[in-house]
Structure 1
């Protein structure tokens, strides 16, 4: 099965390869037996609930049936299946909404960030499947689990007899073939930003985060050239017109969210947009509503793939796909 790249996954080699430490793969019907074992082990390790979870009744046949309807992500540690997450599209009027099912990490591998990697990969997978949002059921007996999903951009949208439905929108993916088109992308994004907004930009060195920010600054019409603030951590660009100013932060050298808090960014003023490069895992506490921007660049290519995810109610009703593609809204 094709490998799915995740933000912190190990080398993209096949499960069982001696050089593999951790890899994420699309789930296939041939994995059904191993998937059942992981699901049963993961749910059996949880405290008992009433009524019991239906995961204990899963079989290889039922897993294959779910995979026929949708897809899934498997996480491997060497040649052992460590985790699984299934993505099943809805039907009829809900065909654009996917359900995350049987989210499981084997007890032997819990506490290593595998669940977060699978969720990030599942978001990309679901977006490629044409889905616009995903949801799941979290049992009321596990409030810490609900909080974990909320930290990953989910919010409670409904209540059920024994839990809550959590949902989030999926990333919008666009390509930028040149640095100029990357700046144009940032300029279009600036058109929907308002004071107090937070943008968290992620991507490897040279991917184009600062180039995107330059376009965003041009769209906001801020003072001073936009350059990487790596050696001063943050730069404040006052507004030249009626649009918000820009606080541009590089969190690459920061080790924790606390160090970012020490910069006292809100003191830059309420009339500013804040963009944090290398902000994942460091900047989310700055605002409950934000845009998460992931920039990837294939080796040997100038084409950048940009994924933008809206987190929080602030972005309800904003058609990011139309904004990023320049299509009429």
Structure 2
């Protein structure tokens, strides 16, 4: 299923991320796609804040993987930014497959991991509208359909 939603402001984008916090479970993967500045990290920050993270989450662009664990967040989270990966083979070095069993993975720039990465992920794509708003499009896999409230 693929539908879209208009996010008129940064606050709307962050609030959407916060709404995701009520839906995510350990073992889930949420991918965030879109151009630089489209709002990927804003959704991730809203999600992390709603999971209990105090303060603003740093962008994991340079660290590539930013881990969070209880009590900092209500469940283990790996916020991943694959922008700097040059080859999908580099993904193996990050150890995300094993960590994904008991953690929520939030993955920015998932296309850098190759087409077959995370087939059961909730796929969110952001695009900037001419007026500066964001258009959020999602693809909901079967594993998410029972809990996905946006129709």
Q: Same fold (TM over 0.5)?
A: yes
What is the CA–CA distance in structure 2 between the aligned matches of 1:182 and 1:253, rounded to whole Å?
24
Give 5+ residue unaligned stretches, structure 2.
none
Aligned positions of 1:32-47 closer than 5 A: none
- When residues 232 and 281 of structure 1 are mapped into structure 2, their CA distance, relative to the original with a 3 A threshold, is closer
Answer 1 or 2: which has greater helix percent.
1
Contact 1:237–1:247 (8 Å) recurs in 2? yes
Paired residue for 1:255? 86
Following TM superposition, the consecutive aligned residue runs of length 4 or more in structure 1 with deviations greater than 3 angstroms are 222-225, 266-271, 283-288
Paired residue for 1:227? 58
Give the counterpart of 1:188 among 16, 19, 25: 19
- When residues 211 and 283 of structure 1 are mapped into structure 2, their CA distance, relative to the original with a 3 A threshold, is farther
Q: Does 1:306 align with 2:139?
A: no
Give 5+ residue unaligned stretches, structure 1.
1-168, 323-329
What is the CA–CA distance in structure 1 between the aligned matches of 2:66 and 2:91, rounded to whole Å?
13
Give the counterpart of 2:96 among 262, 265, 268: 265
Aligned positions of 1:1-329 closer than 5 A: 169=1, 171-222=2-53, 225-240=56-71, 243-268=74-99, 270-280=101-111, 282=113, 285-299=116-130, 301-311=131-141, 313-321=142-150
Contact 1:276–1:283 (8 Å) recurs in 2? no
Instruction: Give the 3-state SS of the residue equivalent to 2:125 in structure 1.
Output: strand
- Give the aligned length: 151
Please, what is the CA RMSD of the aligned residues? 2.3
Deviations along 1:86-126, whole A, 9 cap, x unmatched? Answer: xxxxxxxxxxxxxxxxxxxxxxxxxxxxxxxxxxxxxxxxx
RCO (CA 8 Å, sep 6+): is it higher in 1 or 2? 2
Deviations along 1:299-326, whole A, 9 cap, x unmatched? Answer: 4x33111111112x3123233416xxxx
